Amino acid sequence: MTAIGIDIEFLKSKIRDVPDFPQPGVLFRDITPLLADPAAFKLAIDGMADSYQGISHVVAIESRGFILGAPLAYSIDAGLILVRKSGKLPSHTIRENYGLEYGTSTVEMHTDAIKPGERVLIVDDVLATGGTLRAAANLVERLGATVAGISLLIELSFLGGREQLREYDVSSLITY
């Protein structure tokens, strides 16, 4: 699913390819040129927010997910919840371990961030192998809330991350 009326080629033109980052063999999709262009940034946020209503919170994943999640939450009149790397949140947390395309990690969310029955939208910049997003969804569900959708700027379809998220409504603006 993608947003209707969004100029995807314009957005793609604002994404820089950086080979061998963060390690050899990885092609990093750098969104900083898109973020620096006001028209592209607005278009991306509008596209990612398209069709999401009745959402209590946007759950944004560290770190580029924060950049997209904050304006998206504002645009759909929802609160913002942060999913951070282990040890970064100041209060009581729940944690989830996950694998990614070049290692393993742990994410955490405050235990009082969301309440049972709330509908949340998970937001991140890129869907790669799906590990980070799956971990975030697990945190949301462990707190009793519902993942109403997952909204992404980019999907790297060749890595198969959508397979880990097949029970969710996953929307990505740009697919490689």
**Which residues are known to be catalytic?**
64, 101
Q: Tell me the sheet residues that pair with 103.
A: 100
Measured in residues, the chain has a length of 176
| Burial profile 24-58: b = 16 or more Cβ within 10 angstroms, e = fewer | eeeeebebeebbebeebbebbbbbbbbebeebbbb
- With beta carbons less than 8 A apart as the criterion, state whether 104 and 98 touch: yes
CB within 8 Å of 68: residues ≥ 6 apart: 44, 45, 48, 60, 123, 124, 125, 153
Q: Quick count: other Cβ atoms within 10 Å of Cβ 118?
A: 19
The tokens 């033109």 sit on which residue? 13
